[in-house]
Amino acid sequence: MRNLLIAFSILFLNSFTTIYSQSVDEIYPELEKLCKHFHQYPELSLHEEKTSQLVASELRKIGFDVTEKFSGYGLVGILKNGPGKTILIRTDLDALPIKESTGLEFSSKNDGVMHACGHDIHMSVFIGVAKLLAAHKDNWKGTLMLIGQPAEEIGRGAKMMLDAGLYKKYGVPDYALAIHIASGVEAGQITYFPGNAMANASSVTIKIQGKGGHGALPHNTIDPIVLSAQLITAFQTIVSREISPFEPAVVTVGYIKGGTKHNIIPNEVELGLTIRSFDDETHKKIIEAIELKSRNIGLSFGLSENLLPQISITDDTPSVYNDPILTEKIITLLKKSLGNQFVNQTSRWSAAEDFANYGRTKEKVPSLMLWIGAERKETMDRIAKGEKTPLVHSADFLPDYEKAIKTGVKAIYESALHLLINN
């Protein structure tokens, strides 16, 4: 009997793949039109009003019950289809403060704002998956929880929605799924990494005070610029000398602000750092080391307690953790569906993504983010020659929209369907 059920499941999924292929070609023109619209009218983090309205409108047309303005411009779409699992699928809505230079005929019309990180593709995939699952709901039971999330680019949106009671109001999902496009990977490919796949990331601001004065009389001052220089050098020893070489980590000083004139020693300097790691304990150690070095070096310069460096941490994003069991289940499915050559494990990515938060609550929802190849064939040819090509967050980043959208829809549609029908 068990073998018979397995054979039936395989037959069912194979037939569904055929249905999928027909369906995605039918709906792709709609998705392309939506993607171009999203790309032309991008909105910055916490300002995604019209983007959110359009996504909500599309979900309502499909048959979802939609709540808008859920923590800022977040939205939640629910489609209940009998008893079964609840699958959360997330898209991000926001764009970046970048002036586009791609030359596309559908380039951004909002000057200085661009979908340079693929969120236009993510939203199009999201709507395509919703369309297919709703169209074939006779074949599955359960609940779809589709999340349109604001403020991903500043690492706040997921936490905002969770803090507003997402799981309390709509229930805790059994699984959470998302995609992110991958630059440097050919469109049509899917890559993944089980476990901690993306980095913990924290933005650290350090206000360094001193006692300013004339540049010709430095002995009468406590120079915060020299203090900053020593701190920067000390911070670079944290990863190299205090963290295990088997634990990847980064401490980068991204900016220094201080001073107004050549011959004036200022009272204050500000440093901006980004901290990246994959292991939570490693991340904690790095921040503790920054705090300790800031205090001790400040004391060595003769600063009083009230003038010691002040440290604030913002945009604190945990590592994306791809549940290994869920990852194996979905990757096995996608390899059978797409072919082994199109689904490959890759290395970790040191970028951060606040999708991580949906699996970091006390319920520990098993989560998976798949990376969808975005590059055009000609771009891959240039990469093969050793040329530098535009990556995400570049003003001239130019993905293969059609292949990326179709691959993303296929990956998330089949993943969600598999989880829904295998209760």
Annotated domain spans of the chain: 2-198+319-421, 200-317
Structure pTM? 0.91
β-bridge mates for residue 144, sequence order: 79, 87
Give which of 400, 415, 338 is closest to 32, Cα–Cα. 400
Q: What is the pLDDT of residue 314?
A: 85
pLDDT for 19 equals 53
Q: Position 350: which residue type?
A: S
Does the structure show a pLDDT above 90 at 230?
yes
pLDDT band at 255 (very low <50, low <70, confident <90, very high): very high
E strand spans, 106-156: 142-149
pLDDT, average across residues 290-294: 98
E-strand spans in 133-248? 142-149, 175-186, 190-192, 195-196, 200-209, 213-214
In this structure, are residues 320 and 196 in contact, taking their beta carbons and an 8 Å threshold? yes
pLDDT tier at 22, thresholds 50, 70, 90: low
97 pLDDT above the threshold of 70: yes
Per the listing, tokens 């901290």 go with 275
Range 200-317 classified under CATH 3.20.20.150: no
Q: Residue 20: what pLDDT?
A: 58
Please determine, for residue 76, whether its predicted confidence score (pLDDT) is greater than 50.
yes
Q: Stretch 327-350: mean pLDDT, rounded?
A: 96
For 359: left if phi > 0, alpha if psi spans -120 to 50, otherwise beta; the answer is alpha
Q: Tell me the per-residue pLDDT of 201-220, one tens digit each, with 9 for 90 and over.
A: 999 999 999 999 999 999 99
Ranges of beta strands (E only) in 216-355 are 249-258, 264-265, 268-277, 310-317, 321-322, 343-345
**Residue 423 in this model has a pLDDT that exceeds 70:** no
Rounded Cα–Cα distance for residues 389 and 392 (Å): 10
> For residue 75, is pLDDT > 70?
yes
Residues designated as active site: 94, 152
Distance of CA 108 to the CA centre of its chain: 21
On the question of a common fold for 2-198+319-421 and 200-317, the answer reads: no
SS3 175: strand
- Tokens describing residue 308: 């010691």
The mean of the pLDDT values for the chain is 94
Res 12 pLDDT > 70? no
Q: Which segments of 287-410 are extended strands (E)?
A: 310-317, 321-322, 343-345, 367-375
DSSP state of 61: H
Indicate if the pLDDT at residue 3 is higher than 70: no
Rounded to an integer, the average pLDDT of 354-365 is: 97
- Identify which of 236, 91, 95 has the alpha carbon closest to the alpha carbon of residue 158: 91
Which residues, 6+ apart, have CB-to-CB distance to 296 below 8 Å?
A: none
pLDDT of 4 reads 45
b/e map of 11-21 (b: 16 or more CB within 10 Å)?
eebeebeeebe
Of 167, 258, 131, which Cα lies nearest the Cα of 207? 258
The rounded distance, in Å, linking the Cα atoms of 170 and 157 is 17
Whole-number percent of the chain with pLDDT over 70? 95
Residue 282: pLDDT over 70: yes
Q: What's the topology of domain 2-198+319-421? A: Aminopeptidase (3.40.630)
Strands (E), 150-199: 175-186, 190-192, 195-196
pLDDT at residue 6 greater than cutoff 60: no
> CA neighbours within 13 Å on the CB side: how many for 364?
2
Q: Does 7 score more than 60 pLDDT?
A: no
